[in-house]
Amino acid sequence: MNARDFFTIQTRRDFLDRSLYGLGLGVLAHLFGIEGRAATDPAEAMAPRAGHFAPKAKNVIFLFQAGAPSQIDLYDPKPKLHEWNGKPLPESLAKELQLAFIQPTAKVLASRRKFHPAGQSGLEISEWLPHIATIADDICLVRSMHGESVNHHPGQSLLMSGSPIPGRPTLGSWVTYGLGSESRDLPGFVVLKTGSSTQGSTGNWTNGFLPSNYQGVLLRNQGDPILHLSNPRGVTPSMQRQDLDMIRELNQEQLERTGDAEIASRIGAYELAFRMQAEAPGLIDISDEPESVREMYGLNAEETRAYGTTCLLARRLVERGVRFVLNQHAQWDHHSNLDKGLSQKCRTTDQPAAALVKDLKQRGLLDETLVIWAGEFGRTALAEWRNPSDPASIGRDHHADGFSLWVAGGGIKGGQAVGKTDELGLTVAEDPVHVHDLQATLLHCLGLDHERLTYRSAGRDFRLTDVGGTVVSKMLA
């Protein structure tokens, strides 16, 4: 700015705009240049880019069971619990437990479920998951997960963003920030939902302090795939294109003047929405799928249709180059009526989840797609009995000190169990895997170093794994 320009400034706003012009552009360049995640055109921030090293996987499908499934009844058999069934734990064991609602004096509840060896690997899986048992040789069952949070929202925030404090970028946002997306006409991070519960909030797909390009986009499986995607009556594509061109010019001018990264995100969002109007309706139209596929996913049965549809859509999304799909199914929070509630959830999700892995495998996509099945934590080996007059009302409390999940696909060694909990399922006894370790391992499979994938915000560098995380070599192929 020369002296003449300085003395022609009329307002404080003019002064700030002009004096910060160069600074703003510098900041923008920094934001898009951290860790080599840059795009030459800010509107192309979702363009695909290489990771830190050669990846095993390209895409992610996260089957998130919001509410915390009971590992004691599904994946981690504990015969020793039958010796203690109906009795309180010794005080020496009980006092160490981190419980949300019940007291350490609660009585032990052994699982009523039968477990059977599955596949050539012989993984023991509950009778309530007969379909997942058929993919036992493809999954890595982690029985030694642990975290610090025993309440739903902090637990989900830890699993998805690496911090129990909400507001940080989630896993899908970090992955798309690091790698972009191979789909030009669909969002890089797509969210599918079934079930209704406040336990599965929008915080599970927030972009946090990352540019809004990296926020998850909720896709509906009927009607408009995305709300307000269709044009109003009387608005033709050519009319819309003219409007968008004008809006882009105005936004580009403002971007060049201020260097505001969110304006670049806005430019990209308008253009993506325009392209999605043609692509998204065909995505959710599954009439082209053969009857054998529809049957495999359970689309012909009322109980499995909704979840089966989202699993099928997840496969169709990664086929089209979408980088990260969060498929969230709610209401796994069984403080009471455990047998009735958990059995219903298993009937709803078991067949479609197994079908997804099988379908990806037969199409040659499993080697490049990570599939994760997980809740935010597990359930206690102790009984929660909110209605003592009704024996069927018995349930389980939250448990974060030793729970189970599974991962399959690119870079993961299937047909194995990693880690153990003690004989009563209270704590991890072998090969502990913290939530940050899981996150580091998933990023590793995608060719990303979790310590190098950082973003500077509020004066310091942040990463998904916070200040922890170690890649779990036993999980890797």
Query: Is 288 a member of any domain?
Result: yes
pLDDT at 175: 98
Neighbours of 305 (CB within 10 A): 16
Going residue by residue through the chain, which has 477 residues, state the pLDDT in tens, using 9 for 90 and above.
Answer: 444 444 444 455 554 444 443 334 334 444 444 444 544 354 567 899 999 999 999 999 999 999 999 999 999 999 999 999 999 998 889 888 999 999 999 999 999 999 999 999 999 999 999 999 999 999 999 999 999 999 999 999 999 999 999 999 999 999 999 999 999 888 999 999 998 766 668 899 999 999 989 999 998 755 555 555 565 666 566 665 665 567 666 767 777 777 776 766 666 665 555 565 656 667 788 999 999 999 999 999 999 999 999 999 999 999 999 999 999 999 999 999 999 999 999 999 999 999 999 999 999 999 999 999 999 999 999 999 998 889 899 999 999 999 999 999 999 999 999 999 999 999 999 999 999 999 999 999 999 999 999 999 999 999 999 999 999 999 999
pLDDT at 347: 98
Q: What angle do CA 446, 448, 451 make, to 5 degrees?
A: 145
Query: Is 421 a member of any domain?
Result: yes
Query: Is 21 a member of any domain?
Result: no
Chain centroid, CA 170 distance in Å? 8
Query: Is 191 a member of any domain?
Result: yes
Q: Where are the alpha helices (DSSP H) in 75-212?
A: 81-84, 91-94, 130-133, 152-161, 171-179
DSSP 242-264: HHHHHHHHHHHHHHHHH--HHHH
pLDDT at 409: 98
Query: Is 25 a member of any domain?
Result: no
Query: Is 367 a member of any domain?
Result: yes
Query: Is 1 a member of any domain?
Result: no
Q: How many domains does the chain have?
A: 1
* Contact present, 324 and 60 (Cβ < 8 Å): yes
pLDDT at 252: 73
Identify the three-state secondary structure at position 196.
coil
CA–CA separation, 14 vs 21, rounded Å? 11
CATH code of the domain covering residue 365: 3.40.720.10
Domain span at 325: 46-224+279-475
pLDDT at 244: 59
